[in-house]
Amino acid sequence: MEEVIEQLRELNEPVPVPLELPDEETLVEIQEQILIHLPYELREFLLTVSDVVYGRLEPVTAADPQSHTYLPEVASVAWDLGLPRELVPLCEDQGDYYAVAADGTVVLWEGDSGELSEESWETVWHWVRDVWLES
């Protein structure tokens, strides 16, 4: 996890309006808005690297309600499209959603078919290493 965080920090791209990291209180408010508990590793991801901008993928963020990556908005859209309600979206990718299960596993939900793919990652950090950093 620490290596992945370090790598993301090194690759962080400068942007005109930098993203901010949320605090614990903000994450509690988000849980109340979406009515689902955030899995531990997703919480850690949001608290430590959700301000990183890198590559073409844009994982969810939790500090700015005006952002198009704001978790409650992304979740609302994903659930409306059919993502199972027990999954918390991590990242939208051209109509597909990477999402986190209660046990911390990341799965890929395919928007075209409305089905979960066979692909999965053990943790958010495995997904960051294998998908986001490789995008």
Q: DSSP assignment of the chain, as one string?
A: -HHHHHHHHHHPPP-SS------HHHHHHHHHHHTSPPPHHHHHHHHHHTT---SS-EE-BSS-TTSTTBHHHHHHHHHHHT--TTSEEEEEETTEEEEE-TTS-EEEEETTTTEEEEEEESSHHHHIIIIITT-
Q: How far is CA 114 from the centre of its chain?
A: 19
Q: How confident is the model at residue 93 (pLDDT cuts 50, 70, 90)?
A: very high
Predicted model pTM: 0.96
The predicted pLDDT at position 10 comes to 96
The residue range of the domain holding 24 is: 2-132
Q: Distance between CA atoms of 65 and 63, rounded to whole angstroms?
A: 7
Question: Per residue in 24-80, pLDDT tens?
Answer: 999 999 999 999 999 999 999 999 999 999 999 999 999 999 999 999 999 999 999
Domain count for the chain: 1
CATH code of the domain covering residue 128: 3.40.1580.10
